[in-house]
Amino acid sequence: MRRLLPLVFTLALLPVAACTPEEVQLWFKVYRNEEISWDQAVAIAEVTNRPKCDPNYEGACVPPNVPDVDCAGGSGNGPYYVQGPVRVVGTDIHGLDRDRDGIGCERG
Ligand SMILES: [Ca+2]
């Protein structure tokens, strides 16, 4: 698996909206001339299909699947920061919109 990791990161950078395990297996066959197992293909597809930004926010990219995001320039302790303003379009899971007007990090 270690030698697959650079490929996973390469795939993650491709501007592909989504790819199936079948497409991952095909990609390896065509571009690497390698057969990979179904489990490997599923794992790679899962990583590449992960959203790059949290779908609860728009207008600025809030990192997804991280425990705590704060407004850049604010008093939050991170470890992740977003430069506002950011629109809350889902659930304000990071508490970026303290006055609940739908816009987070207004002064960010
Ligand atoms: Ca606000």
CA of 87 to the centre of ligand 1 (A): 9
CA of 27 to the centre of ligand 1 (A): 44
Burial bucket for residue 35 (CB in 10 Å: 0-12, 13-18, 19+):
exposed
The pLDDT value given to residue 12: 54
Alpha-carbon span 99 to 8, nearest angstrom: 40
Q: Is the pTM of this model over 0.75?
A: no
pLDDT per position as a tens digit, 54-66: 999 999 999 988 8
CA of 88 to the centre of ligand 1 (A): 9
Provide the residue ranges of all domains of the chain, joining segments of one domain with +: 2-48, 53-108
pLDDT per position as a tens digit, 56-98: 999 999 998 889 999 998 888 889 999 999 999 999 999 999 9
Alpha-carbon span 82 to 96, nearest angstrom: 9
